[in-house]
Amino acid sequence: MLDVSDLRFVTALSTAPSLAAAARTLGVTPPAVSQRLALLEDRLHLRLIERGRGQLRLTAEGAYLVDRAKGVLDDIESLAEDMSARAGRIDGPLHVIAPFGFGRLRVAPVLTRFGEENPELRPMLSLREDPVGAMNDGLWDVLVHVGRLPNLRITQRKLAPNRRLLVASADYAGRVGLPQKPQDMAAHRVGVVRENQADASLWPLTGPDGIEMNLRVQPVYSCNDGEVLRAWALDGFGIVERSEWSISADLRAGRLVRVLPDWSLPDADIVALLNPRAVRSLRIDKFVERLTAEISAMPMA
Amino acid sequence: MLDVSDLRFVTALSTAPSLAAAARTLGVTPPAVSQRLALLEDRLHLRLIERGRGQLRLTAEGAYLVDRAKGVLDDIESLAEDMSARAGRIDGPLHVIAPFGFGRLRVAPVLTRFGEENPELRPMLSLREDPVGAMNDGLWDVLVHVGRLPNLRITQRKLAPNRRLLVASADYAGRVGLPQKPQDMAAHRVGVVRENQADASLWPLTGPDGIEMNLRVQPVYSCNDGEVLRAWALDGFGIVERSEWSISADLRAGRLVRVLPDWSLPDADIVALLNPRAVRSLRIDKFVERLTAEISAMPMA
DNA sequence: TCAAGCATTAAGGCACAGCTTAATGCGGAC
DNA sequence: GTCCGCATTAAGCTGTGCCTTAATGCTTGA
């Protein structure tokens, strides 16, 4: 009577603002959704979704169906996972969320290779400006984040250490000179990565003797893409605070030099989060394992 | 990945002695089963059923799959039931088990009518010589039984009162005469219904003053079909112990007369059992309701 | 007033899951 | 040895589930 595809269909509908929207996410035309819903309702002799005046609304029966459907779907999917794990197979969909810069430059290559090695895997990499905000969407397996997240029930697996460094181009250092103490910063042009709600222009510095101080800077340039800011620094426009993973190659090559090397900012270790709501699977474990190995081994290039 | 039909398929296989046997119960040809199983195993990259040397045997993975599948199937079927109930619909399969005689003569008409009134219902009536034995097969919704069953966790719903009576044909009474006290029975030809393992030839009689006695009779005729025995009595061959429901019309018409009317045998009320393992559904509730009404209202015709 | 987006109905098409038949090999019973 | 039932493979067919396009009417906002 009821089929898994019916349950999937109706749960997909339940989160869509309109049938047309559902059609788009399902990758079919609106009539397909409309008539399939009508057919299902006929079959059950029940109205599932009230679709008058604009907004979709689940009826009581629809809501009940969706609710129970989620349970059944979870169950059968976890069963499929179990079977796949018993076969020692790495297959199925793997949703990874990562921040823009790090995701593109560090996670993507690993995921791509992992996908090539396991032809039945269907990797999906979603680069977000705000990975943490995407957490509650539910549809992800692994979330990579730069910087430990406080106040989380989810266990965070450390992929690699990562410091935040103040840097400027060698050219800038030669032309303008570098600050020798935090207070000198005010005389310099500063760029910051303004990602989430955190106050990017307040730097909690720790000095050589363990002295702590909060330095308020007046950024002349801000961007939510660290790579843009790195380029800005490489072009000699000013001093930026940047993750070690991003600019260590530049440091080694001498394109960038550290600013106030005796002062440090809080570490922003790279961590991976596993979605507690997702079914645990072999592919997830193996991928995180791989990620840990490769990210740690990366020459911070 | 896994579909409900896969789960149904594999659970069906799990109870079959051979693929060919499974094919027969599934109503398809053996190759269909063989290749479908092969396909499923391919898809999971696992061997589910060991089919060497005669007997089928589930592998560990197969057993696990079947086990979990049962849970999922139960879940989704109960969901379908719920939706159907919310629609106030009486539909789907309805497995009824009943004993031979009572089933054919009393249950069948009710079920037939109930089925006609609810075109989407798929009634299945299974008449058994030993309904109680069939209980553990699991595949039933309602079981009708004549006589309360002891030592059962299952709640028994009384459909109608029913006495066991000793009767003979009027012809026999006139020709041979009737016994006046239990001890006289030894001089008469007696027929009994020998159904289950119960000792049909030992009658626990209760007398007019509440006197109890066990009377051992020597049946000259026994049969597991009460209707055959009734015919035997109607033909004037002897005295039989028979359920009231079966012979009350004969009594009213004078074709049969009661023997030892002051002595009574234990009642054998007609009860309905609901399969506790089956999902509760509207159709079952409504059917039992209907059964109760109609059986009670029957003129014991 | 028009344009755009949404929902729905009707009609047609297509892919494919799942079946069939046919043929082969195997093992056990007699 | 022969026969019968089971399992399997190969090849071919088909029903139908599910989609598409096309056309219509409704609502809403510009």
Domain A90-162+269-297, CATH: 3.40.190.10
Burial A163-196 (b: 16+ CB within 10 A, else e): bbbbbbbbebbeebebbeebeebeebbbbbbbbe
The per-residue pLDDT for B218 is 81
**pLDDT at residue A293 is higher than 80:** yes
List the 70-99 stretch of B: residues with Cβ below 8 A of A: 71-72, 75-77, 79-80, 82-84, 86-87, 89, 92
Residues in chain A: 301
CA A190/CA A145 separation, integer angstroms:
24
> DSSP state, B267?
P
State the average pLDDT over residues A46-69.
86
The per-residue pLDDT for B301 is 47
Three-class DSSP category at B178: coil
In a mutational test of the B interface, the residue from A40, A43, A78, A83 whose CB has the highest number of chain B CBs within 10 Å is A83
CA distance to partner chain A, nearest, from residue B37 (Å): 15
State the average pLDDT over residues B182-193.
85
- Residue of chain B nearest A70, judged by CA positions: B76
CA distance to partner chain A, nearest, from residue B73 (Å): 9
- Joined together, the tokens standing for residue B245 give 């429901």
The per-residue pLDDT for A196 is 60
CA distance to partner chain B, nearest, from residue A60 (Å): 10
Check whether residue B52 has its CB closer than 7 Å to nucleic acid strand C.
Answer: no
Query: Long-range contacts made by residues B169-173, C-beta under 8 angstroms, separation at least 24?
Result: B169/B233, B169/B234, B169/B235, B169/B236, B169/B255, B169/B256, B169/B257, B170/B254, B170/B255, B170/B256, B170/B257, B171/B236, B172/B233, B172/B236, B172/B237, B172/B238, B172/B239, B173/B257
> DSSP state, B85?
H
State the average pLDDT over residues A40-56.
84
Q: Residues A258, A263, A268, A270: is their CA dihedral positive or negative?
A: positive
Please answer yes or no on whether A68 and B82 come within 8 Å at the CB atom: yes
Please answer yes or no on whether B3 and A7 come within 8 Å at the CB atom: no
CA B66/CA B8 separation, integer angstroms:
9
The per-residue pLDDT for B68 is 94
The per-residue pLDDT for B258 is 94
CATH topology of domain A4-85: Arc Repressor Mutant, subunit A (1.10.10)
Q: A209 in contact with B at a CB cutoff of 8 Å? A: no
A4-85 and A164-258 share one fold: no
The per-residue pLDDT for A195 is 67
Kindly report, residue by residue over B28-87, the tens digit of the pLDDT: 988 999 999 999 999 898 899 988 666 788 888 889 999 999 999 999 999 998 898 888
Check whether residue A20 has its CB closer than 7 Å to nucleic acid strand C.
Answer: yes
Kindly report, residue by residue over A155-186, the tens digit of the pLDDT: 788 888 899 999 999 999 999 889 888 888 88
Greatest alpha-carbon span in chain A: 79
pLDDT above 90 coverage of chain A, percent: 28
Domain B92-158+269-297, CATH: 3.40.190.10
Q: Residues B247, B252, B258, B262: is their CA dihedral positive or negative?
A: positive
DSSP track, A178-207: --SSGGGGGGS-EEEE--SSS-TTEEEEE-
Non-local (6+) Cβ contacts of A129 within 8 A are A99, A100, A195, A224
Please answer yes or no on whether A83 and B46 come within 8 Å at the CB atom: yes
Helix (H) or strand (E) holding A97: strand A92-99
**Among candidates B187, B185, B196, B261, which has minimal Cα distance to B224?**
B196
CA distance to partner chain A, nearest, from residue B202 (Å): 50
Residue listed under structure tokens 């181009």: A169
Non-local (6+) Cβ contacts of A195 within 8 A are A99, A129, A130, A224
Kindly report, residue by residue over B257-301, the tens digit of the pLDDT: 999 999 988 888 899 988 877 777 888 989 999 999 888 877 554
The per-residue pLDDT for A79 is 92
Kindly report, residue by residue over B199-219, the tens digit of the pLDDT: 777 888 888 888 888 888 888
CA B166/CA B268 separation, integer angstroms:
13
Please answer yes or no on whether A69 and B79 come within 8 Å at the CB atom: yes
Work out how many CB contacts closer than 8 A connect A with B: 80
Kindly report, residue by residue over B100-135, the tens digit of the pLDDT: 888 888 898 898 888 888 878 888 888 887 787 778
Helix (H) or strand (E) holding B120: none
CA B184/CA B203 separation, integer angstroms:
14
Ordered by start, the domain boundaries in chain B are: 4-85, 92-158+269-297, 164-258
Q: CB burial class (10 A; 0-12, 13-18, 19+) of residue A130?
A: middle
Non-local (6+) Cβ contacts of A112 within 8 A are A123
CATH topology of domain B164-258: D-Maltodextrin-Binding Protein; domain 2 (3.40.190)
**pLDDT at residue A72 is higher than 90:** yes
Confidence of residue A194 (pLDDT cuts 50, 70, 90): confident
The helix-helix angle for A4-14 and A30-44 (nearest 10°) equals 120
CA B103/CA B243 separation, integer angstroms:
13
User: At A10, which amino acid appears?
Assistant: V
Question: What's chain A's average pLDDT?
Answer: 86
The per-residue pLDDT for B151 is 64
Q: What value, to the nearest 5°, has the Cα angle with vertex B294 and ends B289 and B297? A: 125
CA B47/CA B65 separation, integer angstroms:
11
Q: Where are the beta strands (DSSP E) in chain B?
A: 49-50, 57-58, 92-99, 121-128, 142-146, 156-160, 164-169, 190-193, 202-206, 212-216, 221-223, 239-243, 256-258, 270-274
Confidence of residue A69 (pLDDT cuts 50, 70, 90): very high
3-state helix, strand, coil in chain B (%, to 5): 45, 20, 35
Task: Report the range out of A35-49, B82-96, B142-156 with the highest average pLDDT.
Answer: A35-49
CA A272/CA A103 separation, integer angstroms:
12
- Joined together, the tokens standing for residue A244 give 């070690």
**pLDDT at residue A225 is higher than 80:** yes
The per-residue pLDDT for A84 is 87
Burial A219-237 (b: 16+ CB within 10 A, else e): bebbbbebbbbbebbbebb
CA B12/CA B134 separation, integer angstroms:
18
Kindly report, residue by residue over A230-281, the tens digit of the pLDDT: 998 999 988 999 999 999 899 999 999 999 999 988 888 899 988 877 777 8
Q: What value, to the nearest 5°, has the Cα angle with vertex A45 and ends A41 and A48? A: 40
In a mutational test of the B interface, the residue from A4, A47, A70, A84 whose CB has the highest number of chain B CBs within 10 Å is A4
- Joined together, the tokens standing for residue A171 give 């050219």
Nearest CB to A75; choose among B44, B46, B72: B72
Check whether residue B170 has its CB closer than 7 Å to nucleic acid strand D.
Answer: no
The per-residue pLDDT for B54 is 65
State the average pLDDT over residues A286-298.
87
**pLDDT at residue B197 is higher than 60:** no
